[in-house]
């Protein structure tokens, strides 16, 4: 059985967010800071990855139906 790549991506992003929040709370503001450009790039990359994963899961499902039992 395999894990869904979307769940893995969300788990990774939530972990990174927790790390950054912990860095900001500890007073190390430089380590927790993100520029607006990096936030925009991350949003675009995550959106593209989720769209691709959704598209490919649909295509793979269609191809699996073609395989005879």
The whole-number pLDDT of residue 32 equals 53
The whole-number pLDDT of residue 2 equals 67
The whole-number pLDDT of residue 45 equals 94
The whole-number pLDDT of residue 3 equals 72
Contact predicate 6/53, CB 8 Å: yes
In 1-69, beta strands by DSSP E: none
- What is the rounded distance in angstroms from the CA atom of residue 52 to the CA atom of residue 6? 10
Q: Would you kindly state where each structural domain of the chain is located, as residue ranges?
A: 5-66
The whole-number pLDDT of residue 61 equals 77
The whole-number pLDDT of residue 47 equals 94
pLDDT digits (tens, 9 = 90+) for 8-66: 888 888 898 888 778 777 776 565 556 677 788 889 999 999 999 888 888 887 888 88
């Amino acid at each position: 059985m395999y894990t869904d790549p979307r769940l893995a991506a969300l788990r990774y992003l939530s972990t990174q967010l927790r790390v950054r929040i912990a860095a900001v709370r500890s007073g190390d503001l430089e380590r927790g800071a993100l520029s607006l450009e990096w936030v925009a790039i991350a949003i675009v990359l995550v959106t593209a990855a989720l769209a691709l994963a959704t598209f490919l899961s649909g295509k793979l499902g269609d191809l699996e139906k073609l395989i005879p039992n």
